[in-house]
Amino acid sequence: EAAVTQSPRNKVAVTGGKVTLSCNQTNNHNNMYWYRQDTGHGLRLIHYSYGAGSTEKGDIPDGYKASRPSQENFSLILELATPSQTSVYFCASGDPGENTLYFGAGTRLSVL
Amino acid sequence: QQKVQQSPESLIVPEGGMASLNCTSSDRNVDYFWWYRQHSGKSPKMLMSIFSNGEKEEGRFTVHLNKASLHTSLHIRDSQPSDSALYLCAASIPGGNYKPTFGKGTSLVVHP
């Protein structure tokens, strides 16, 4: 089955610090996505990418950057973390022809 | 930014009963819907997808789609305690801009 691996699985950060969440996929999908999940909000799209070197803003990009250095890797960067960014973050990969997104296990981030 | 609305927010059904979940998109360009299931502490996994008007059945699960009203529904018959989960509806527009938008979800509890 398609594999998406996120690291770290849990992270505690301080306000104002820099946080990098990493995602690796072995599915050879062109498209990769970062979502955050909060109670009462479902999954909200932060950034996505159509291939190496490309990043696009999703619905809630403020306070986040993304980087896609290769087909396999997609990172989410919080340059100045704030407590409002405390959440569970999911990375996903998927192409239209496959008819589904494959999600990683998630990263639980707490910003204190 | 298209919106995906799900109802009800939460649902409790007895074991063996029928669960019915609803989802509507606000974007008339949407042509594809998915239903994902997310067990507590896990990542979402695709359950069913539909893009044609009508009905699709897989085991105990049936999905309906009315493209004119942009409404889809998921019905689970003979509900089991293992069906207890968060059910997320997602929608996408056609073409190269493949970025599924998710609703807030319906939390289903099946009690023995």
Model pLDDT, residue B85: 97
Classify residue A80 by burial, with Cβ atoms within 10 Å: 0-12, 13-18, 19+. Answer: exposed
Beta strands in A14-104 (DSSP E): 19-25, 32-38, 42-49, 56-57, 65-67, 73-78, 87-93, 102-103
Is the omega angle on the peptide bond into residue A8 within 30 degrees of 0, that is, cis? yes
At CA B107, angle to CA A22 and CA B22, rounded to 5? 105
Give A14-39 pLDDT, tens digit per residue. Answer: 999 999 999 999 999 999 999 999 98
Q: Is B105 close to A42, i.e. CB distance below 8 A?
A: yes
Contact A100 B88 (CB under 8 A): no
B46 touches chain A (CB under 8 A): yes
For chain A, list residues whose CB is within 8 angstroms of any CB belonging to chain B.
Answer: 31, 33, 35, 40-45, 48, 50, 56, 58-59, 90, 94-96, 99-101, 103-106
How far is residue B33's CA from residue B62's CA, in Å, rounded to a whole number?
Answer: 13
Of the listed ranges A10-24, A48-62, B27-41, B88-102, the one predicted with least confidence: B88-102
Asked if pLDDT for residue B103 goes beyond 90, the answer is yes
Distance from CA of A42 to the nearest CA of B (A): 4
Bridge partners of B76, per DSSP, are B19, B61
- Give per-residue pLDDT as tens, B18-30: 999 999 999 888 8
Q: Does the structure show a pLDDT above 80 at A66? A: yes
Question: Which one of B42, B88, B99 has the shortest CB-CB distance to A42?
Answer: B88
Q: What integer pLDDT is reported at residue A1 of this predicted model?
A: 64
